[in-house]
Amino acid sequence: MSRQRRVQVSIAGLVVLAASALFLSFSRGTRASEPPDRVIVLTASKYAFRASGEAGGEGGAAGAAGAVGAENPPLRLRAGERVRVVVRNAEEGDVEHNFKIPGLGVHCSKGIAPGEEEAVEFTVPKDGIYTYTCCSHPGMGGRVEIEGGTR
């Protein structure tokens, strides 16, 4: 095989590898780009999270985030579902809040000023019981209860 032919074969091989890597990166990431299975809305006020309701998904406000208005309600999720948690800061004054679920890799969101909201989105990985909290106010938070999978 001539030197020119070997170079052409090598370049073709690199193009195939690059195309394969690109395809795999897009095919693995499709779940993250899909709309969430469930949206949970929590309002932070008076140093507590309160269930504000839930849009989409099953169970309504009493399903994933307890009764509307419940203080630091348990979040009931299913392994495999894609969840969006919207945190609204309804504090009076200049108290900032944020949100994290340490055991599920949901890291502390940016500071949320009064009147603002921040959303975190994640795929629930496994069964178990975890906690969610405000990074600035560690006593402010509740349980995350995860049951069997949906997918």
pLDDT at site 147: 86
What pLDDT digit, counting tens, does each position of 65-97 carry?
556 677 899 999 999 999 999 999 999 989 999
* Ranges of each domain in the chain: 1-33, 36-149
Q: What is the CATH number that goes with domain 36-149?
A: 2.60.40.420
CA distances from 74 to 2, 7, 24, 122 (A): 69, 61, 36, 17
The pTM assigned to this predicted structure is 0.69
- Dihedral of CA 92/42/100/143: which sign? positive
Q: Is 61 a residue whose pLDDT tops 60?
A: no
Confidence of residue 129 (pLDDT cuts 50, 70, 90): very high
Q: Could you give the CA distance from residue 37 to residue 31 in angstroms, rounded to a whole number? A: 11
Burial label for 83, CB within 10 Å (0-12, 13-18, 19+), is buried
pLDDT at site 3: 74
- Return the higher-pLDDT residue of 98 and 7: 98
Q: Could you give the CA distance from residue 66 to residue 133 in angstroms, rounded to a whole number? A: 16
> What proportion of the chain, given as a percentage, has pLDDT over 70?
67
- Dihedral of CA 57/62/63/64: which sign? positive
Query: Left if phi > 0, otherwise alpha if psi is -120 to 50, otherwise beta: which for 24?
Result: alpha
CB distance 143 to 101 below 8 Å: no
pLDDT at site 24: 39
Which stretch of 44-53, 62-71, 107-116, 119-128 has the lowest confidence by average pLDDT?
62-71
Q: Is 41 a residue whose pLDDT tops 70?
A: yes
